[in-house]
Chains A and B, each alone.
Chain A
Amino acid sequence: MKLEETAPAAAIPSPVAPGERGGVPVTVWIAMAFVVVAVACALFGPRIAPYRANEQDLLLGTVPPGGDHLAGTDLLGRDVLSRTIVGARTALVGPTIVAVGAFAIATVLGLLSGYIGGVIDSLVMRWVDFMFALPGPLIAIVIVGVAGGGFWTAVVVLVVLFTAPDTRIVRSAVLEQRPLPYIEAARTLGISRSRIMFIHILPNILPIVAAYVVLDFAFALVSLAGLSFLGLGVSPGTADWGRMLFENRTILFTTPLAALMPAAAIVITAGSINIIGDWIYQRMSR
């Protein structure tokens, strides 16, 4: 689980190759299709799923795929397919809060730090540097674990960890806007600093922020799944992809799908969102 920084890879833009211009690439279409499926599962999961996600059938126990249970059942006789479908909800809700929350805080800090500068800037940047010097993901594991775990603890810790790299991104975007004529014009007109920051600069940096929110989302998904995989994220019993992996990796030999399905769900969803995020990023930076 790469908990730290923004998706580190996201920080390095891939330059656009000539062939990549033009319409929407096939990979992005496929990725969008997967995301639509995941969102549908998150919204209507309990209605789509063939069984109730937490319905146990202890007498049935673990059954292999096929028959009534397309993907088999886990140790408690719960339907793996249903749990994977319903699990889309925690898989998407957590990262949404992390990505949006971290960027909301980072936008305010980045605007203040980049536009006003001075003491605020050095304080904010000192803090960002400090966060960068830490092995973030390990800190997350330890803090979430010691604080007693749980979904919300994990979300809050990740918001704090994600805010530092996000602030750096927003700040550098603000610094690019600062010398532009429209800012000078606004200042000459005597428009207040907060108005310049939030009404004039903010809309201009939003597109690039949006691309990073998408990339952060994918990274948060993987991170939260990682915490759940270690038994520290969502509470026991929740239908969650990371948690399912944690619970079902012991039955990999008998009912492999019970662990492979949530693993595939994590990789496909995070991968699709990363592909879309990369694509948005490239369009924005043209």
Chain B
Amino acid sequence: MKGERLWTYVLRRLLVAVPLILLISLGVFALVNLAPGDPARALVGSRQATPETLAAIREKFHLDEPFLAQYLIWLKAVLTGDLGRSIQGNQLVTTMIWQRLPLTVYLGLYGSLVALGLGIPLGVLAAFRRGTEVDRAVVTLGVLGVSAPAFATGIFLLYVFGVMLNWFPTFGQGEGVVGRIWHLTLPAVALGVSVMGLVVKITRASMIEELLKDYVAFARARGLDRRRVTVAYVLRNALIPVVTAAGLIVVGLLTGAVLVEVTFGLPGLGSLLVNAVTQRDIPVIQGIVLILAIFVVILHVLIDVLYTLIDPRIRFGRVEA
């Protein structure tokens, strides 16, 4: 594909993403009305609701206007970067998100390192030893990984390595780079393992499929080194489905991060979201959901673009994307 065509493709995908994001923002805004009872009461949260506060809230959030008008007022504010203020504590939602974001990003990166670093080699190993005990052990491990929610794994890890062996700290996020890695190890392993099962499964399936292809037999028949064939040809092709599944993997990591942060008491975006949900702090919920949903939508666009870049068949237009 010529560079120009790639750009039109990216542009087209981004244009499709715009109405999607608008639709999501509408849904996010409608959350106020989802809470049972009077939206004004929902916006008071768990605080005491006097008629005066209710009236003030109604005024502030334009609750007497029609729904669509309320939405447009809100959307205009959001577009200028104003996500409102928290009901509890009156902090700016954007500030709160900024403060919590780094921890979740570290946790997510560390967790995906664990998931990919363990998942891909295990999947490759199982594919090569297909049908043997090793394969069955890896597959079973993968199934257990899929079945073990991050909070259950987290509790086990906390108990074994934090309480019994006392190797790792059981709470806090640590100081400095080393301290942070130290404190985030158990959470990241819990998070990584919950996503690893998926990575193992995809890698194994696509490796097996790829290994059976004629070009592998041909390369081997020509006397090419097995290791070289594996790394240079097979693995490269086999990892394409893993990239395609990146969307699922990232959504899995995000969900896992929420659970892991709650399990380990880490002050990240996930625990902020859960706290906000528990206290019905609508503006905070709206802000976090909006940002995460937009992140996921843009990520999907990026994955599609990446996909066309790494798979030459699509790039040269031989396969319909």
Contact = CB atoms under 8 A, between A and B. Distances in A.
Interface of A: 1-5, 7-9, 12-15, 17-20, 25, 27, 130, 133-139, 141-143, 145-148, 218, 222, 225-226, 229-232, 245, 249, 252-253, 256, 259-260, 263-264, 266-267, 270-271, 273-275, 278
A133 B205 contact: no
Contacts, number: 181
Contacts of A264: 152
B273 A231 contact: no
Given A27-B140, A271-B144, A232 B156 contact: no
Interface in B126-181: 130-132, 135-136, 139-140, 142-144, 146-153, 155-156, 158-159, 163
A216 to B, nearest CB: 12
A7 B259 contact: no
B300 interface: yes
Interface string B267-311: 000000110011010100100010011001100100000000000
Nearest to B151: A229
B278 A145 contact: yes
Chain B interface residue count: which class?
35 or more
Contact of A263 (B24, B152, B274): B152
A163 B205 CA distance: 25
Given A19-B132, A135-B293, A146-B285, A267 B163 contact: no
Interface centre among A3, A8, A147 (most CB of B within 10 A): A8
A4 B245 CA distance: 13
B53 interface: no
B155 A222 contact: no
Given A1-B149, A146-B277, A8 B292 contact: no
Given A142-B289, A256-B159, A8 B151 contact: no
Interface of B: 20, 23-24, 31, 34-36, 42, 130-132, 135-136, 139-140, 142-144, 146-153, 155-156, 158-159, 163, 194, 197-198, 201-202, 204-205, 208-209, 241, 245, 248, 251-252, 254-256, 258-259, 262-263, 273-274, 277-278, 280, 282, 285, 289, 292-293, 296-297, 300
Contact of B258 (A130, A138, A270): A138
A37 B159 CA distance: 26
A226 B149 contact: yes
A5 B248 contact: yes
Given A249-B263, A252-B163, A141 B277 contact: yes
A14 to B, nearest CB: 5
A253 B158 CA distance: 10
Contact of B205 (A14, A141, A143, A145): A14
A19 B130 CA distance: 8
25 contacts: A2-B194, A5-B248, A8-B252, A12-B201, A12-B245, A20-B131, A135-B255, A138-B254, A138-B292, A141-B258, A145-B274, A145-B278, A146-B42, A147-B34, A225-B149, A225-B152, A226-B255, A226-B259, A245-B152, A249-B155, A253-B163, A256-B159, A256-B163, A260-B156, A267-B148
